[in-house]
Structure 1
Amino acid sequence: MLGPFHRRGRSKPMGEINVVPFIDVMLVLLVIFMITAPMLTQGVDVDLPQVSSEPIDVDEQNEPIIVSVDRDGQYYISLGGDESQVDLDEISDRVIILLERKPGTPVMVRGDRNVPYGQIVTLMSTLQLAGVANVGLISEPPPSDG
């Protein structure tokens, strides 16, 4: 007599996986990211100088403080998604407060190519007086002829 767990015929396990639903989900995600990616790059309109340089590795956990100078000479400070217009006198105070909260946060300067060199040097001097040891300069890579 055969028990309830006895199998009469041996059937092979199925060795196929249906990947069509996975592909459908991936295509939907691709379309969503293609639409939202251009919206993520917001901020001050700055015409950055184009130079050849190595990109700087930035930790996602330690986002940099970015101080921008637009073509009109207006200063902006941003950390993460928060961006606000400030005077040169306020930059030092704000940077000191931000560095007290998160020591070791990198500080970067985005300066429009049409801003006088002296204004960028004044900004960097202000950052140095605020206790920033190293200031990074943000630029764009030159257009490739490829």
Structure 2
Amino acid sequence: MGRTAPLMSTRVSSEINLTPMMDLTFILLITFIITFPMIEQGVPINLPQGSASPVSSDANRSVISLDGAGNLYFNDRATSFDGLLEQITQLAQVDLTTTVYVRADKDVRYGEVVRVMRALHDQKLTRISLVTKGD
């Protein structure tokens, strides 16, 4: 009884085993499914009060104020939002390095402040400071 050696193939297999890659894909998918609702929900936090530094008295500045009643002021003069847009456009044509201070009453809706800041940004006025009450 003679033993014969099994025939071994000398061909190299060019197939890629996809099982580990599929396992990793499913693990990542499950991880995202579990963590995504946590990201959307967020954590309720109580924001700290900030300290305010004194406002410089340079001549190259403008002040936009929003009071609790919804009135809008540009350099202490009452104006409408359309009037503010015109004044911002004129300001941008004169000097883009002007610092614009935005003062808003704590009862003003956040969206109104963002609307003013968006108008400033659209005119390329990027030196914007939010004025807050000190400690």
Given the two structures, how large is their TM-score scaled by the length of structure 2? 0.56
Greater percentage in helix: 2
Q: Indicate which of 112, 117, 123 corresponds to 1:124.
A: 117
* Contact residue 98 and residue 127 of structure 2 kept, 8 A: no
The residue correspondences of 1:1-146 to structure 2 (distance < 5 A) are 51-55=49-53, 58=56, 60-62=58-60, 64-78=61-75, 83-142=76-135
- Indicate how the Cα distance of structure 1 residues 61 and 88 shifts in structure 2: closer, same or farther if over 3 A, else same: closer
Runs of 4 or more above 4 Å deviation? none
Q: Distance in 2 between matches of 1:88 and 1:137?
A: 18
Given the two structures, how large is their TM-score scaled by the length of structure 1? 0.53
Gaps of 5+ in 1: 1-49
SS of residue in 1 equivalent to 2:68: coil
Gaps of 5+ in 2: 1-47
- Indicate how the Cα distance of structure 1 residues 56 and 102 shifts in structure 2: closer, same or farther if over 3 A, else same: farther
- Indicate how the Cα distance of structure 1 residues 57 and 110 shifts in structure 2: closer, same or farther if over 3 A, else same: closer
SS of residue in 2 equivalent to 1:65: strand
Larger radius of gyration: 2
- Indicate how the Cα distance of structure 1 residues 138 and 84 shifts in structure 2: closer, same or farther if over 3 A, else same: same
**What is the RMSD of the two structures over their aligned residues, measured on CA atoms?**
2.2
Counting matched residue pairs gives 88
